[in-house]
Chains A and B, each alone.
Chain A
Amino acid sequence: MGMGTSAGPHQVKSDINVTPLVDVVLVLLIIFLITMPVVMRTVTLEVPRKADQDEDTSTAAKAIIVTHRADGSINLADGVKEDRTISSLDLTKELRPVLGQKQGEKVVFVDFCEGVPWQDVVSTMDRVRAVASAETAPIQDRRRAGGDIKVALKKKDKKSEVDPNKPDPCLK
């Protein structure tokens, strides 16, 4: 190769030399891979700040409490109307007017009875978040809007604090 004068036109390589291009692309790709933020799909659950810090009774009475039973039905307590039993599929529909009236921070307390699998726990939280946006909105907007509603863990009542006049929502 490269024998000076013997180089004729037939020795010109007509293919594009892609090697440097490929090198650059590879390096770019590796850079992107490293800097790419790993996406974590989450539903954020608010937990009581301190275990023994009990909620103010006046606000607790007005809090929206969603209790999911093992049979899939839901007890909805909004502190305005009487407690009612609804199907878990109707949760978004039922919760929308209730939450619409609410001033300030939108917090929904969730509680689950014995035997509710974790899938249903998370699905219920998902349905609560769906209240924030119309069903027809683009999924990205709905996801963003869902973050406006705070889903909070309802602590199980201590035996000494159970109101004997109030029926246990886990028992129909």
Chain B
Amino acid sequence: MSGSAQRKGGLRALPKKPKLDAVRNEINVTPLVDVCLVLLIIFMVITPLMARGKDVPLPKTELHSEEKDKLQPVVSIGVDLKTKELLVWLAGTSAQGKQELFEIGRLDEFQMSQDGEQQVMESQAREKLRKEVERLWEVSKNPESKGRLFLKVAADVPYERVYPVLMAVNEDLSLTSIDLGTADKRGGE
């Protein structure tokens, strides 16, 4: 406003000034830049949120399938940064559509019996995992999530520590298959 008034005044005072001077002939990029910055921030915020469940360093594979997220519960096994202990977490989508993440317990609580009968020992963590996964399936809005579980295990956890969890979910939740989370060998999760 004030600019145009000034220009008007200026033109009146100096009538011989070339008219082209008053016309800015470049594109105003300021709004474009604003929008780009906003987009950048949106992407920066959303990208880490897209990987559901507790973030653990996943093993790398080449020939994984790239599947659409079916909103199945996510079980993560990894080292807790504070206590340096191996923990089990569960993540899922609540009835309100909110993301939930909670701790199930220590990985030690999932153990095979010592008598060689290959039974998973009963424990609070096992019971909690069964109850919570069943609850998440119950409240899930996506019917495809039922009967499915996504398992994210840190790359350095030995197999014999994970095996009781595999057996426990198999027995308690009668799964037919488990989706194992992996990262792309060429970078990116």
Which residues of A are in contact with B by a Cβ distance under 8 Å? 1, 6, 8-16, 18-19, 22, 25-26, 29-30, 33, 37-51, 112-119, 121-123, 125-126, 129-130, 139, 142-144, 146-147, 153, 155-160
Q: How far is the CB of B34 from chain A (nearest CB, A)?
A: 8
Partner of B117, one of A33, A44, A160: A160
B residues at A contact (CB < 8 Å): 1, 4, 7-8, 11, 19, 22-28, 31-32, 35, 38-39, 42, 46, 50, 52, 59-69, 112, 115-118, 150, 153-160, 162-163, 166-167, 169-171, 174-184, 189
How far in angstroms is the closest Cβ of chain B from A92? Answer: 10
A-B CB contact pairs (8 Å), 30 listed: A1-B4, A10-B22, A11-B4, A14-B23, A14-B25, A16-B27, A18-B31, A19-B31, A22-B31, A33-B42, A40-B67, A40-B68, A40-B181, A41-B61, A41-B182, A41-B184, A42-B67, A47-B166, A51-B170, A112-B160, A114-B158, A118-B158, A121-B162, A130-B63, A139-B62, A142-B62, A143-B64, A155-B118, A156-B163, A158-B118
Contact A40 B179 (CB under 8 A): yes
* Interchain CB contact under 8 A, B170 and A48: yes
Cβ-defined contact, B159 with A114, below 8 A: yes
Q: Provided the pairs A33-B42, A41-B189, A130-B63 are in contact, do residues A46 and B176 lie with their beta carbons within 8 angstroms?
A: yes
Q: Contact partner of B59 among A49, A121, A155, CB < 8 A?
A: A121
**Main secondary structure on B side of the interface with A:** mixed
> Are B63 and A29 in contact, with the CB atoms below 8 A?
no
- Please tell me if the beta carbons of B159 and A143 are within 8 angstroms of each other in the complex: no
Contact residues in B for A9 (Cβ distance below 8 Å): 19
